[in-house]
Structure 1
Amino acid sequence: MTCWFSRARARAALAMGLALSAIAIPAGAQDLDSGYCQLAPITDTRVGFAGREIVREVAVELGQRVARDDVLVRLDPAGLPARLERARAELRQAERAMDRANALEGVLVAEERDQRETDLAVRRATFQEIELEMQRLTLRAPHGGIVVEIMAREGELLEDSVAMRIVELSRLLVEADMPLGRFGSFEPGQILRLETETGGEAEARITFVDPLADLASRSFRIRAELDNPDGFFTPGTTCVLLE
């Protein structure tokens, strides 16, 4: 997903003689040499699953804040619970047989002992395989954040689908297009001062400076991170870099 301000859009707006204020960019952004920027979530994850599955339960609501490993969606397990119980019973039986073999170590022939070891290994692998399949049917949050999209519905049959989108807004990504004349003026670790389109000022730390320039727009990209613990700054809004 491309988050930074479209160069093509900027060129088109200039060609048509549109006032930059019409696209809700701060007044300082009217100077192209200042560099446009846009705020976006650093962490934006679409959680999904593979295969054909029926949604049994959607455990969260739109706009809900979740923590890492919180349950998001449960899929229909069909006959897996019964298979898991059978595999558990067979594993216990194989373990008891192995215990008896160990107790009779001086009596059992090597071939019979090897057979019991092999059977135990197979039963253990089968149980673990079904257990992992059961875990796959419970979708959990990969990180903390806010649920901003829910694509799964209870009772629906979905196939290789994205079920949910989660964004974390405590830190934001600042992506900017800078004019080619300022190439070499920025480096990772440098602090940027910026003004958002809502009028707030902030400081962000540069994490990346593009070593390549875009010849069509005569510009290059920089990226910075902005702390946003109180949610004051809004991702998706534009900003302008200050001197």
Structure 2
Amino acid sequence: MRRPLVVLALSATLFAAAGCSKDQAAAGGPPGGAMPPPEVGVVVMHPATVPIGKDLVGRLSAFRSADVRARVPGVLQRRLYEEGSDVRKGQVLFRIDPAPLQAAAAQARGALAQAQASAANARAFAERARGLIDGKFISRSDYDNAIAAERSSLAAVQAARAAVQAADINLGYATVRAPISGRAGKQQVTEGALVGQGEPTLLTTVDQLDPMYIDFSMSVGELAQVRALGAARADANVQVLLPDGTPYPHPGTLDFSGDVVDPATGAVSLRARVDNPDGVLLPGTFVTLKAVLGEERDAFLVPQAAVQRDAKSAYVLVVGKDGKVARKDIATERAQGADWVLHEGVAEGDQVIVSGLQRAIPGQPAKAAPMPAPGQAPPQAAAAPVPAQG
């Protein structure tokens, strides 16, 4: 009785296995129950022109800054501007007591009048001497003395005129004017103070705030890398981020690049220029710069997630034209956001595996599913079909 039962059970098992194989074949599965090739996400490589960008920290400074100083000695009488306000070039900022300077100017004019009178007398003597020398009514020595006196008197007049001009200039310095247009700072000396004694006294400072300078620096290695690529531009763009992280609406341009390395820091000084029409930027503020210093041609952007490393080198896995996974050794040059920039190791059209790396085995087949290239939006994914249940 037991033998027929065993035969019946074995037959039922074989029948069920055959039914499952037929169902799998009808569903499109591989024959014989083999696993399908794993699906991996790939990015197709295409050479492109890649901007060379650096994130740097810089400090704002005024486009022009002028110290307003007392250029003549005297007592400061009045301040004629509002501290922290915008002033125009030539606007009166301070007045110094002009009385001593007016007296000096009057004295210089008196000396000029005296010199002119002496010159008139000397000219008259010289004219008489010229009329008498022909008839030899005066000696040659007297004639020479009269001519020399005339010339000396004319030189004295010129010196007196220069003294008057200097006195007028000093009198004009008693009215202190703005040397440039900009924002006038805090008053450094109060009214009633004696200024200009010995050396010019600082009264205030005027800063031109539109445009503004951004002073920053780069290491010698970074600057050499940019220049080695042959991509440095004189009009490199600079994007400014305010201290709160807000992008500043006006882009800047590279204005100056130094050629002297600071021995203390090993860095090279650079400067950018940015418009400041609304006065948002203030001197002394630290800001973040996103500087585009040039362009690198025929470069490949490889997502950092695709790069693997071992004891030999960095490498990526690609899906070849035969549908199999292959390894390609690369040399990463520099990071650009979430990608590596490189020129060697990959070629145009290579399908670099970005996702599903744990399922990709070199030499084994894989199914490539395109992913968005670096800097592109992901495509709309189609709805996956729902397998029929039977």
TM-score by length of 2: 0.47
Aligned Cα root-mean-square deviation (Å): 3.0
Structure 1 unpaired stretches of 5+: 1-32
Structure 2 vs 1, CA of residues 113 and 39 (structure 1 numbering), >3 Å: closer, same or farther? same
Q: Counterparts of 1:152 and 1:106 in 2: how far apart (Å)?
A: 58
Bigger RCO of structures 1 and 2 (CA < 8 A, at least 6 apart): 1
Q: Counterparts of 1:148 and 1:180 in 2: how far apart (Å)?
A: 37
Residues 68 and 140, structure 1, Cα contact 8 Å, conserved in 2: yes
Structure 2 vs 1, CA of residues 209 and 115 (structure 1 numbering), >3 Å: closer, same or farther? closer
Structure 2 vs 1, CA of residues 214 and 125 (structure 1 numbering), >3 Å: closer, same or farther? closer
Q: 1:137: which partner in 2?
A: 174
CA deviation after TM superposition for structure 1 residue 210, in Å: 3.1
Q: 1:192: which partner in 2?
A: 238
Residues 74 and 194, structure 2, Cα contact 8 Å, conserved in 1: yes
User: Which deviations, in whole Å up to 9, do the C-alpha atoms of 1:167-224 show, x marking residues without a partner?
Assistant: 1111101112335542132453322223222412432121222334557656443211
CA deviation after TM superposition for structure 1 residue 74, in Å: 1.9
CA deviation after TM superposition for structure 1 residue 68, in Å: 1.6
Q: Counterparts of 2:204 and 2:256 in 1: how far apart (Å)?
A: 29
Structure 2 vs 1, CA of residues 180 and 112 (structure 1 numbering), >3 Å: closer, same or farther? closer
Structure 2 unpaired stretches of 5+: 1-53, 130-145, 227-231, 293-390
Equivalent position amino acid for 1:122 in 2? A
Q: 2:105: which partner in 1?
A: 84
Residues 204 and 226, structure 1, Cα contact 8 Å, conserved in 2: yes
Equivalent position amino acid for 1:196 in 2? L
Residues 188 and 207, structure 1, Cα contact 8 Å, conserved in 2: yes
Q: Counterparts of 1:93 and 1:50 in 2: how far apart (Å)?
A: 29
Q: Counterparts of 1:210 and 1:82 in 2: how far apart (Å)?
A: 51
Identity of aligned residues (%): 23
Q: Counterparts of 1:205 and 1:69 in 2: how far apart (Å)?
A: 30
Structure 2 vs 1, CA of residues 201 and 239 (structure 1 numbering), >3 Å: closer, same or farther? farther
User: Which deviations, in whole Å up to 9, do the C-alpha atoms of 1:40-96 show, x marking residues without a partner?
Assistant: 212122222367532122222202222222222222234331231232244245446
Aligned length: 211
Trace 1:26-175 onto structure 2 (pairs within 5 A).
34-49=55-70, 53-92=74-113, 94-95=115-116, 98=119, 106-107=127-128, 109-158=146-195, 159=197, 160=199, 161-175=201-215
Q: 1:221 aligns with which of 257, 263, 269?
A: 269
Q: Counterparts of 1:116 and 1:220 in 2: how far apart (Å)?
A: 61
Q: 1:211: which partner in 2?
A: 259
TM-score by length of 1: 0.71
Structure 2 vs 1, CA of residues 122 and 228 (structure 1 numbering), >3 Å: closer, same or farther? same
Residues 72 and 174, structure 2, Cα contact 8 Å, conserved in 1: no
SS of the residue corresponding to residue 61 of structure 1 reads: coil
Structure 1, 135-144 or 182-191: larger mean CA deviation: 182-191
Structure 2 vs 1, CA of residues 87 and 215 (structure 1 numbering), >3 Å: closer, same or farther? closer
